[in-house]
A and B are shown apart, each in its own frame.
Chain A
Amino acid sequence: MGAGDGDSNFMVEKKPVQLDSGMISANVYEQHFLASDWDPILSMDNHAMSFDVSAGFSPYIVGVSEQMPNLSFFSSKRHVPSTHLVDNNHQTETNLKWKKRKAVSNEFHKKDGSPESAKSSKEKDEKKGKTSKHSKINTQNADAGKDDYIHVRAKRGQATNSHSLAERVRREKISERMRLLQDLVPGCNKITGKAMMLDEIINYVQSLQRQVEFLSMKLAAVHPEVNFDIEQILSKGILHSEDGNAAATLGFGPGMTTTHSHLHGVIQTDVRMCSMPNSQISPTARIPNAWDHELQNIAPMSFIDSKDLNGDMKVQI
Protein backbone atom coordinates (compact mmCIF):
# COMPACT_ATOMS: atom_id res chain seq x y z
CA MET A 1 0.00 0.00 0.00
CA GLY A 2 1.76 3.08 -1.14
CA ALA A 3 0.33 5.46 1.33
CA GLY A 4 2.28 8.64 1.26
CA ASP A 5 1.42 9.71 4.69
CA GLY A 6 4.57 11.61 5.09
CA ASP A 7 3.85 13.76 2.14
CA SER A 8 2.02 16.46 3.97
CA ASN A 9 1.97 18.94 1.16
CA PHE A 10 -0.91 17.35 -0.57
CA MET A 11 -2.72 15.80 2.26
CA VAL A 12 -5.63 17.36 3.95
CA GLU A 13 -6.63 14.34 5.90
CA LYS A 14 -4.51 11.35 6.64
CA LYS A 15 -6.43 8.40 5.42
CA PRO A 16 -5.30 4.99 4.22
CA VAL A 17 -5.17 4.50 0.52
CA GLN A 18 -5.20 1.37 -1.48
CA LEU A 19 -3.91 1.91 -4.93
CA ASP A 20 -4.49 -0.72 -7.45
CA SER A 21 -4.75 -0.98 -11.16
CA GLY A 22 -8.14 0.60 -11.21
CA MET A 23 -6.81 3.77 -9.81
CA ILE A 24 -3.90 3.86 -12.15
CA SER A 25 -6.06 3.65 -15.19
CA ALA A 26 -8.33 6.24 -13.72
CA ASN A 27 -5.33 8.35 -13.28
CA VAL A 28 -4.50 8.02 -16.92
CA TYR A 29 -7.98 9.00 -17.78
CA GLU A 30 -7.60 11.97 -15.63
CA GLN A 31 -4.39 13.02 -17.27
CA HIS A 32 -6.08 13.17 -20.57
CA PHE A 33 -8.84 14.97 -18.93
CA LEU A 34 -6.57 17.45 -17.35
CA ALA A 35 -5.08 18.32 -20.63
CA SER A 36 -8.40 18.81 -22.32
CA ASP A 37 -10.39 20.53 -19.69
CA TRP A 38 -8.91 22.22 -16.77
CA ASP A 39 -12.14 23.45 -15.31
CA PRO A 40 -13.22 20.57 -13.16
CA ILE A 41 -9.94 20.50 -11.39
CA LEU A 42 -10.02 24.19 -10.85
CA SER A 43 -13.46 24.07 -9.46
CA MET A 44 -12.63 21.49 -6.89
CA ASP A 45 -11.62 21.99 -3.38
CA ASN A 46 -8.46 20.56 -2.03
CA HIS A 47 -9.39 17.22 -0.76
CA ALA A 48 -7.21 14.52 0.48
CA MET A 49 -5.42 12.19 -1.76
CA SER A 50 -2.28 10.78 -0.45
CA PHE A 51 0.69 10.92 -2.63
CA ASP A 52 3.45 8.52 -3.12
CA VAL A 53 6.07 10.12 -5.19
CA SER A 54 8.54 7.40 -4.56
CA ALA A 55 6.33 4.73 -6.00
CA GLY A 56 6.44 6.38 -9.31
CA PHE A 57 2.76 6.71 -9.93
CA SER A 58 0.40 9.25 -8.60
CA PRO A 59 -3.17 8.99 -7.50
CA TYR A 60 -5.78 11.60 -8.11
CA ILE A 61 -4.83 15.13 -7.36
CA VAL A 62 -7.73 17.03 -6.14
CA GLY A 63 -6.38 20.25 -4.81
CA VAL A 64 -6.14 23.27 -6.98
CA SER A 65 -3.38 25.54 -5.99
CA GLU A 66 -0.95 22.76 -5.44
CA GLN A 67 -1.51 21.32 -8.83
CA MET A 68 0.51 23.69 -10.91
CA PRO A 69 3.90 22.30 -10.09
CA ASN A 70 2.61 18.83 -10.67
CA LEU A 71 1.51 19.18 -14.21
CA SER A 72 4.89 18.28 -15.40
CA PHE A 73 4.82 15.32 -13.12
CA PHE A 74 1.59 14.24 -14.66
CA SER A 75 2.78 14.66 -18.16
CA SER A 76 5.53 12.24 -17.46
CA LYS A 77 2.90 9.63 -16.93
CA ARG A 78 1.89 9.43 -20.49
CA HIS A 79 3.64 6.19 -20.99
CA VAL A 80 0.49 4.42 -20.00
CA PRO A 81 -0.98 2.89 -23.13
CA SER A 82 -3.10 5.20 -25.09
CA THR A 83 -5.58 2.53 -25.93
CA HIS A 84 -7.00 3.10 -22.58
CA LEU A 85 -7.42 6.73 -23.37
CA VAL A 86 -9.06 5.90 -26.62
CA ASP A 87 -11.54 3.74 -24.86
CA ASN A 88 -12.49 6.54 -22.62
CA ASN A 89 -12.41 9.19 -25.22
CA HIS A 90 -16.01 8.97 -26.12
CA GLN A 91 -16.83 9.26 -22.54
CA THR A 92 -14.74 12.30 -22.07
CA GLU A 93 -16.61 14.19 -24.68
CA THR A 94 -19.96 13.26 -23.40
CA ASN A 95 -19.18 13.21 -19.78
CA LEU A 96 -17.28 16.32 -19.16
CA LYS A 97 -18.86 16.63 -15.83
CA TRP A 98 -16.95 13.67 -14.49
CA LYS A 99 -19.66 12.60 -12.24
CA LYS A 100 -18.75 9.94 -9.86
CA ARG A 101 -21.83 8.58 -8.35
CA LYS A 102 -20.36 5.32 -7.34
CA ALA A 103 -19.97 6.76 -3.91
CA VAL A 104 -23.58 6.08 -3.22
CA SER A 105 -23.80 2.61 -4.55
CA ASN A 106 -20.32 1.78 -3.39
CA GLU A 107 -21.12 2.48 0.15
CA PHE A 108 -24.48 0.88 -0.20
CA HIS A 109 -22.96 -2.27 -1.47
CA LYS A 110 -20.27 -2.16 1.11
CA LYS A 111 -22.90 -2.46 3.69
CA ASP A 112 -24.04 -5.63 2.05
CA GLY A 113 -20.52 -6.82 1.92
CA SER A 114 -20.36 -7.53 -1.78
CA PRO A 115 -17.49 -5.99 -3.62
CA GLU A 116 -18.68 -7.22 -6.97
CA SER A 117 -21.71 -5.02 -7.02
CA ALA A 118 -19.56 -2.03 -6.29
CA LYS A 119 -17.66 -3.00 -9.37
CA SER A 120 -20.72 -3.02 -11.56
CA SER A 121 -21.74 0.39 -10.39
CA LYS A 122 -18.31 1.78 -10.93
CA GLU A 123 -18.22 0.63 -14.48
CA LYS A 124 -20.94 2.99 -15.34
CA ASP A 125 -18.89 5.91 -14.36
CA GLU A 126 -15.39 4.99 -15.20
CA LYS A 127 -15.76 2.37 -17.90
CA LYS A 128 -13.09 0.26 -16.42
CA GLY A 129 -13.04 -3.44 -16.73
CA LYS A 130 -11.12 -4.23 -13.66
CA THR A 131 -12.12 -3.25 -10.23
CA SER A 132 -11.69 -4.98 -7.03
CA LYS A 133 -12.64 -3.81 -3.62
CA HIS A 134 -11.61 -0.20 -3.54
CA SER A 135 -10.91 1.61 -0.42
CA LYS A 136 -10.23 5.16 -1.26
CA ILE A 137 -9.69 8.23 0.72
CA ASN A 138 -12.69 9.87 2.14
CA THR A 139 -13.20 13.34 0.95
CA GLN A 140 -15.83 13.99 3.48
CA ASN A 141 -15.46 15.16 6.99
CA ALA A 142 -13.32 13.28 9.38
CA ASP A 143 -16.26 12.29 11.49
CA ALA A 144 -17.04 9.39 9.20
CA GLY A 145 -14.65 7.12 10.99
CA LYS A 146 -15.01 4.21 8.57
CA ASP A 147 -12.24 2.00 7.34
CA ASP A 148 -13.21 2.19 3.69
CA TYR A 149 -13.49 5.55 2.13
CA ILE A 150 -15.38 6.64 -0.87
CA HIS A 151 -13.97 8.88 -3.41
CA VAL A 152 -16.29 11.65 -4.39
CA ARG A 153 -15.77 14.12 -7.13
CA ALA A 154 -17.71 17.31 -7.45
CA LYS A 155 -19.85 17.88 -10.43
CA ARG A 156 -19.13 20.68 -12.74
CA GLY A 157 -20.61 23.91 -11.57
CA GLN A 158 -21.48 22.73 -8.12
CA ALA A 159 -20.29 23.72 -4.74
CA THR A 160 -17.17 21.95 -3.73
CA ASN A 161 -17.12 22.53 -0.06
CA SER A 162 -16.37 19.37 1.80
CA HIS A 163 -19.57 19.74 3.72
CA SER A 164 -21.66 20.02 0.62
CA LEU A 165 -19.91 17.07 -0.90
CA ALA A 166 -20.74 15.01 2.12
CA GLU A 167 -24.27 16.29 1.96
CA ARG A 168 -24.53 15.34 -1.66
CA VAL A 169 -23.30 11.83 -1.02
CA ARG A 170 -25.72 11.43 1.80
CA ARG A 171 -28.57 12.74 -0.30
CA GLU A 172 -27.74 10.38 -3.10
CA LYS A 173 -27.59 7.49 -0.69
CA ILE A 174 -30.98 8.40 0.63
CA SER A 175 -32.50 8.76 -2.80
CA GLU A 176 -31.09 5.41 -3.82
CA ARG A 177 -32.75 3.78 -0.87
CA MET A 178 -35.98 5.57 -1.53
CA ARG A 179 -35.95 4.07 -4.99
CA LEU A 180 -35.55 0.66 -3.42
CA LEU A 181 -38.47 1.34 -1.16
CA GLN A 182 -40.48 2.45 -4.14
CA ASP A 183 -40.23 -1.05 -5.51
CA LEU A 184 -41.35 -2.54 -2.27
CA VAL A 185 -44.39 -0.43 -1.62
CA PRO A 186 -47.12 -1.21 -4.12
CA GLY A 187 -48.49 1.63 -6.14
CA CYS A 188 -45.58 3.95 -5.74
CA ASN A 189 -44.25 3.90 -9.24
CA LYS A 190 -45.87 7.12 -10.27
CA ILE A 191 -45.09 9.10 -7.22
CA THR A 192 -41.86 11.00 -7.27
CA GLY A 193 -40.53 13.28 -4.63
CA LYS A 194 -39.29 12.49 -1.23
CA ALA A 195 -42.17 13.88 0.80
CA MET A 196 -44.93 12.04 -0.99
CA MET A 197 -42.94 8.84 -1.07
CA LEU A 198 -42.39 9.03 2.65
CA ASP A 199 -46.09 9.68 3.09
CA GLU A 200 -46.88 6.56 1.15
CA ILE A 201 -44.35 4.48 3.02
CA ILE A 202 -45.62 5.61 6.37
CA ASN A 203 -49.18 4.88 5.35
CA TYR A 204 -48.21 1.47 4.11
CA VAL A 205 -46.37 0.50 7.26
CA GLN A 206 -49.25 1.76 9.37
CA SER A 207 -51.77 -0.20 7.35
CA LEU A 208 -49.66 -3.34 7.59
CA GLN A 209 -49.41 -3.01 11.33
CA ARG A 210 -53.13 -2.44 11.60
CA GLN A 211 -53.69 -5.52 9.48
CA VAL A 212 -51.54 -7.57 11.82
CA GLU A 213 -53.52 -6.36 14.77
CA PHE A 214 -56.83 -7.07 13.10
CA LEU A 215 -55.78 -10.53 12.00
CA SER A 216 -54.49 -11.37 15.43
CA MET A 217 -57.85 -10.40 16.84
CA LYS A 218 -59.52 -12.67 14.35
CA LEU A 219 -57.16 -15.47 15.18
CA ALA A 220 -57.81 -15.05 18.86
CA ALA A 221 -61.53 -15.30 18.28
CA VAL A 222 -61.29 -18.39 16.14
CA HIS A 223 -58.46 -20.06 17.94
CA PRO A 224 -59.90 -21.96 20.93
CA GLU A 225 -62.37 -23.86 18.80
CA VAL A 226 -59.71 -25.30 16.64
CA ASN A 227 -57.49 -28.13 17.56
CA PHE A 228 -53.80 -28.71 17.17
CA ASP A 229 -54.16 -31.07 14.32
CA ILE A 230 -55.63 -28.29 12.40
CA GLU A 231 -52.43 -26.45 13.05
CA GLN A 232 -50.61 -29.34 11.59
CA ILE A 233 -52.86 -29.40 8.60
CA LEU A 234 -52.45 -25.73 8.28
CA SER A 235 -48.73 -25.86 8.41
CA LYS A 236 -48.79 -28.23 5.53
CA GLY A 237 -51.49 -26.27 3.81
CA ILE A 238 -49.79 -22.97 4.10
CA LEU A 239 -46.44 -24.19 3.04
CA HIS A 240 -47.98 -25.86 0.07
CA SER A 241 -50.14 -22.94 -0.74
CA GLU A 242 -47.01 -20.99 -1.26
CA ASP A 243 -46.44 -23.34 -4.14
CA GLY A 244 -50.06 -23.34 -5.14
CA ASN A 245 -51.40 -26.73 -4.14
CA ALA A 246 -53.60 -25.93 -1.21
CA ALA A 247 -56.50 -28.08 -2.26
CA ALA A 248 -54.55 -31.29 -2.31
CA THR A 249 -53.29 -30.94 1.22
CA LEU A 250 -56.63 -30.38 2.83
CA GLY A 251 -57.78 -33.81 1.85
CA PHE A 252 -54.45 -35.09 3.00
CA GLY A 253 -54.89 -33.74 6.46
CA PRO A 254 -56.99 -36.22 8.40
CA GLY A 255 -54.78 -39.05 7.32
CA MET A 256 -51.86 -37.44 9.07
CA THR A 257 -53.32 -37.13 12.50
CA THR A 258 -53.11 -40.73 13.49
CA THR A 259 -49.47 -41.10 12.75
CA HIS A 260 -48.17 -38.43 15.10
CA SER A 261 -48.15 -38.49 18.83
CA HIS A 262 -45.87 -35.70 19.77
CA LEU A 263 -46.87 -32.16 19.00
CA HIS A 264 -43.40 -30.84 18.85
CA GLY A 265 -42.35 -33.65 16.62
CA VAL A 266 -45.51 -33.15 14.63
CA ILE A 267 -44.65 -29.77 13.48
CA GLN A 268 -41.06 -30.61 12.83
CA THR A 269 -41.66 -33.73 10.83
CA ASP A 270 -44.51 -32.04 9.14
CA VAL A 271 -42.32 -29.26 8.09
CA ARG A 272 -39.71 -31.66 6.87
CA MET A 273 -42.17 -33.38 4.65
CA CYS A 274 -43.00 -30.20 2.93
CA SER A 275 -40.90 -29.04 0.11
CA MET A 276 -38.42 -27.10 2.12
CA PRO A 277 -34.70 -27.24 1.74
CA ASN A 278 -32.78 -28.72 4.55
CA SER A 279 -30.79 -25.65 5.16
CA GLN A 280 -33.82 -24.02 6.57
CA ILE A 281 -34.65 -26.90 8.84
CA SER A 282 -31.33 -27.42 10.49
CA PRO A 283 -31.09 -24.01 12.09
CA THR A 284 -34.59 -24.39 13.34
CA ALA A 285 -33.82 -27.70 14.95
CA ARG A 286 -31.82 -26.02 17.61
CA ILE A 287 -33.93 -22.91 17.66
CA PRO A 288 -36.78 -24.41 19.67
CA ASN A 289 -34.70 -24.13 22.79
CA ALA A 290 -34.20 -20.46 22.29
CA TRP A 291 -37.73 -20.10 21.02
CA ASP A 292 -39.08 -21.52 24.26
CA HIS A 293 -37.18 -18.87 26.07
CA GLU A 294 -38.49 -16.17 23.82
CA LEU A 295 -42.03 -17.26 24.23
CA GLN A 296 -41.87 -17.36 27.98
CA ASN A 297 -43.02 -13.81 28.06
CA ILE A 298 -45.80 -14.35 25.64
CA ALA A 299 -47.35 -17.55 26.87
CA PRO A 300 -46.71 -17.41 30.55
CA MET A 301 -47.13 -21.07 31.29
CA SER A 302 -44.49 -23.53 30.37
CA PHE A 303 -44.74 -25.98 27.56
CA ILE A 304 -47.13 -28.77 28.43
CA ASP A 305 -46.02 -32.32 28.09
CA SER A 306 -47.03 -34.19 25.01
CA LYS A 307 -48.85 -36.83 26.97
CA ASP A 308 -51.58 -34.36 27.69
CA LEU A 309 -52.01 -33.71 24.03
CA ASN A 310 -52.85 -37.20 23.01
CA GLY A 311 -56.14 -37.12 24.77
CA ASP A 312 -57.13 -34.01 22.94
CA MET A 313 -56.07 -35.11 19.57
CA LYS A 314 -59.38 -35.28 17.86
CA VAL A 315 -60.07 -33.64 14.64
CA GLN A 316 -62.92 -31.28 15.15
CA ILE A 317 -64.03 -30.18 11.80
Chain B
Amino acid sequence: MHNNKCLKENPNPNPNQPLLAYHFIQALTRINLTAHTTTSTKQRSHIIKHAAYVSMAFAAGNKRTWTHAVLLHNRFPLKTRFHRLSGSRRSFIMSLSRNKKTHRHAHLLRSLVPGGHAMEFSSLLMETANYIQYLTAQVRLMQCIVEKFDMHV
Protein backbone atom coordinates (compact mmCIF):
# COMPACT_ATOMS: atom_id res chain seq x y z
CA MET B 1 0.00 0.00 0.00
CA HIS B 2 1.29 3.40 -0.88
CA ASN B 3 0.56 4.92 2.45
CA ASN B 4 3.00 2.67 4.16
CA LYS B 5 5.86 4.49 2.61
CA CYS B 6 4.75 7.55 4.42
CA LEU B 7 4.56 5.86 7.71
CA LYS B 8 8.06 4.57 8.00
CA GLU B 9 9.61 4.79 11.38
CA ASN B 10 10.87 8.22 12.22
CA PRO B 11 13.89 8.07 14.48
CA ASN B 12 13.65 11.74 15.31
CA PRO B 13 10.02 12.66 15.73
CA ASN B 14 9.59 16.32 15.30
CA PRO B 15 7.14 17.83 17.76
CA ASN B 16 6.10 20.44 15.27
CA GLN B 17 5.02 18.15 12.49
CA PRO B 18 1.34 19.20 12.37
CA LEU B 19 2.38 22.82 12.44
CA LEU B 20 4.73 22.23 9.57
CA ALA B 21 2.02 20.45 7.63
CA TYR B 22 -0.41 23.24 8.23
CA HIS B 23 1.92 25.96 7.06
CA PHE B 24 3.17 24.09 4.09
CA ILE B 25 -0.25 23.12 2.85
CA GLN B 26 -1.47 26.63 3.30
CA ALA B 27 1.45 27.83 1.22
CA LEU B 28 0.73 25.23 -1.40
CA THR B 29 -2.86 26.23 -1.71
CA ARG B 30 -1.89 29.82 -2.03
CA ILE B 31 0.55 28.99 -4.74
CA ASN B 32 -2.01 26.90 -6.49
CA LEU B 33 -4.49 29.72 -6.33
CA THR B 34 -2.27 32.43 -7.53
CA ALA B 35 0.30 31.03 -9.81
CA HIS B 36 -0.75 27.82 -11.40
CA THR B 37 -1.79 29.17 -14.76
CA THR B 38 0.85 31.75 -15.31
CA THR B 39 4.06 30.02 -14.46
CA SER B 40 5.89 27.13 -15.95
CA THR B 41 6.60 23.98 -14.08
CA LYS B 42 10.17 24.91 -13.46
CA GLN B 43 9.26 28.27 -12.01
CA ARG B 44 6.61 26.72 -9.90
CA SER B 45 8.97 24.11 -8.57
CA HIS B 46 11.31 26.87 -7.54
CA ILE B 47 8.48 28.68 -5.84
CA ILE B 48 7.39 25.53 -4.06
CA LYS B 49 10.90 24.84 -2.90
CA HIS B 50 11.15 28.34 -1.56
CA ALA B 51 7.80 27.94 0.15
CA ALA B 52 8.99 24.69 1.69
CA TYR B 53 11.96 26.38 3.29
CA VAL B 54 9.97 29.34 4.48
CA SER B 55 7.26 27.20 6.01
CA MET B 56 9.96 25.11 7.64
CA ALA B 57 11.56 28.18 9.13
CA PHE B 58 8.19 29.45 10.20
CA ALA B 59 7.29 26.28 11.97
CA ALA B 60 10.64 26.17 13.70
CA GLY B 61 10.12 29.51 15.31
CA ASN B 62 12.34 32.46 15.72
CA LYS B 63 14.77 31.11 18.24
CA ARG B 64 17.14 29.59 15.75
CA THR B 65 19.78 31.31 13.72
CA TRP B 66 19.00 29.41 10.58
CA THR B 67 15.35 30.42 10.68
CA HIS B 68 16.42 34.02 10.99
CA ALA B 69 18.61 33.60 7.97
CA VAL B 70 15.96 31.89 5.90
CA LEU B 71 13.24 34.39 6.68
CA LEU B 72 15.56 37.31 6.19
CA HIS B 73 16.65 35.92 2.88
CA ASN B 74 13.02 35.54 2.00
CA ARG B 75 12.16 39.13 2.74
CA PHE B 76 15.23 40.74 1.31
CA PRO B 77 16.72 38.45 -1.28
CA LEU B 78 19.54 40.82 -2.06
CA LYS B 79 20.79 41.47 1.41
CA THR B 80 22.58 38.22 2.00
CA ARG B 81 25.82 40.03 1.97
CA PHE B 82 24.99 41.62 5.28
CA HIS B 83 24.98 38.25 6.87
CA ARG B 84 28.42 37.62 5.56
CA LEU B 85 29.65 40.91 6.84
CA SER B 86 28.69 40.08 10.38
CA GLY B 87 31.09 37.18 10.32
CA SER B 88 33.64 38.75 8.09
CA ARG B 89 36.39 38.90 10.63
CA ARG B 90 35.85 35.30 11.48
CA SER B 91 35.74 34.27 7.88
CA PHE B 92 38.98 36.10 7.20
CA ILE B 93 40.73 34.23 9.96
CA MET B 94 39.22 31.00 8.79
CA SER B 95 40.26 31.52 5.25
CA LEU B 96 43.84 31.40 6.39
CA SER B 97 43.46 27.87 7.63
CA ARG B 98 41.23 26.66 4.88
CA ASN B 99 43.62 23.96 3.78
CA LYS B 100 43.09 21.93 6.91
CA LYS B 101 40.57 19.19 6.51
CA THR B 102 38.41 20.10 9.46
CA HIS B 103 38.18 23.65 8.31
CA ARG B 104 37.17 22.53 4.88
CA HIS B 105 34.43 20.50 6.49
CA ALA B 106 33.39 23.45 8.59
CA HIS B 107 33.32 25.73 5.60
CA LEU B 108 31.19 23.26 3.68
CA LEU B 109 28.78 22.92 6.53
CA ARG B 110 28.53 26.64 6.89
CA SER B 111 27.62 27.00 3.27
CA LEU B 112 24.96 24.32 3.62
CA VAL B 113 23.18 25.50 6.72
CA PRO B 114 21.54 28.87 6.17
CA GLY B 115 23.16 31.58 8.20
CA GLY B 116 26.08 29.37 8.98
CA HIS B 117 28.80 31.86 8.25
CA ALA B 118 28.11 34.00 11.23
CA MET B 119 28.42 31.32 13.88
CA GLU B 120 31.24 29.63 15.62
CA PHE B 121 31.70 25.94 15.22
CA SER B 122 29.94 24.60 18.29
CA SER B 123 26.81 26.63 17.73
CA LEU B 124 26.99 25.69 14.08
CA LEU B 125 26.71 22.06 15.13
CA MET B 126 23.66 22.84 17.25
CA GLU B 127 22.04 24.65 14.39
CA THR B 128 22.80 21.76 12.08
CA ALA B 129 21.09 19.37 14.45
CA ASN B 130 17.97 21.47 14.56
CA TYR B 131 18.08 22.05 10.85
CA ILE B 132 18.34 18.33 10.12
CA GLN B 133 15.35 17.66 12.34
CA TYR B 134 13.19 20.08 10.47
CA LEU B 135 14.50 19.05 7.10
CA THR B 136 13.61 15.43 7.70
CA ALA B 137 10.15 16.44 8.86
CA GLN B 138 9.68 18.55 5.77
CA VAL B 139 10.86 15.78 3.48
CA ARG B 140 8.50 13.28 5.05
CA LEU B 141 5.65 15.70 4.71
CA MET B 142 6.32 16.33 1.06
CA GLN B 143 6.67 12.63 0.38
CA CYS B 144 3.27 12.04 1.94
CA ILE B 145 1.69 14.72 -0.19
CA VAL B 146 3.23 13.46 -3.37
CA GLU B 147 2.20 9.91 -2.66
CA LYS B 148 -1.36 10.92 -1.99
CA PHE B 149 -1.43 12.74 -5.27
CA ASP B 150 -0.11 9.69 -7.00
CA MET B 151 -2.83 7.61 -5.50
CA HIS B 152 -5.54 9.95 -6.64
CA VAL B 153 -4.18 10.41 -10.11
- Residues of chain A in range 178-210 having any CB-CB distance to chain B below 8 Å: 178, 180-181, 183-186, 194-195, 198-199, 201-202, 204-206, 208-209
Please choose the segment from A33-41, A70-78, A128-136, A296-304 that sits at the chain B interface, where 4 or more of its residues have CB less than 8 A away: A296-304
A295 CB contact (under 8 Å) in B37, B51, B139, B143: B51
Minimum C-beta distance from B139 to chain A (A): 5
Residue contact B48 to A216, C-beta cutoff 8 Å: yes
Residues B7 and A294 in contact, CB atoms below 8 Å apart:
no
Question: A196 to chain B: closest CB distance in Å?
Answer: 10
Chain B CB count within 10 A is highest, among A208, A242, A298, for A298
- Does A63 belong to the interface (CB within 8 Å)? no
Looking at A202, A211, A212, A219, the one whose CB has the most chain B CB atoms below 10 A away is A219
Given contacts A219-B45, A230-B152, A247-B3, contact A177 B126 (CB under 8 A): yes
Point out the residue from A184, A235, A288 that lies within 8 Å of B12, measured CB to CB: A184
CB distance from A297 to the nearest CB of B (A): 6
Tell me how far the C-beta of A272 lies from the nearest C-beta in chain B, rounded to whole angstroms.
Answer: 10
B94 interface hit (Cβ, 8 Å): no
Bound Cα distance A249, B50 (Å): 29
Decide yes or no: A219 and B25 within 8 Å by CB, A298-B50, A304-B34 being known contacts. no
Count A/B pairs, Cβ under 8 Å. 218
**Number of residues from A at the complex interface, CB < 8 A:** 75
Q: Is the CB of A294 within 8 A of B29?
A: no
Provide the residues of chain A in CB contact with B25, threshold 8 Å. Answer: 231, 234-235, 238, 267
| Cβ contact of A267, chosen from B12, B26, B47, B133, cutoff 8 A | B26
Bitwise interface map of B from 17 to 37 toward A, beta carbon under 8 Å scored 1, else 0: 111011101111111111111
Q: Is the CB of A170 within 8 A of B22?
A: no
Is the C-beta of B91 less than 8 angstroms from some C-beta in chain A? no
Q: Residues of A contacting B45 with CB < 8 Å?
A: 213, 216-217, 219-221
Q: Which residue of B lies closest to A198 (CB)?
A: B105
Query: Which residues from B are CB-within-8-Å of A86?
Result: none
A237-256 near B? 1/0 per residue, CB < 8 Å: 11101101011001000000
The answer to whether residues A219 and B28 also contact, given A184-B133, A208-B136 and a CB cut-off of 8 A, is yes
Q: How far is the CA of A231 from the CA of B128 in the complex (A)?
A: 31
Interface residues of B (CB under 8 A from A): 1, 3, 6-7, 11-12, 16-19, 21-23, 25-37, 41-42, 44-54, 58, 71, 74-75, 77, 101-102, 105-106, 108-109, 112-113, 121-122, 125-126, 128-129, 131-133, 135-136, 138-139, 141-146, 148-153
9 pairs of A and B residues whose beta carbons are closest in the complex: A220-B45, A216-B49, A198-B105, A177-B125, A301-B34, A220-B44, A215-B142, A216-B48, A217-B45
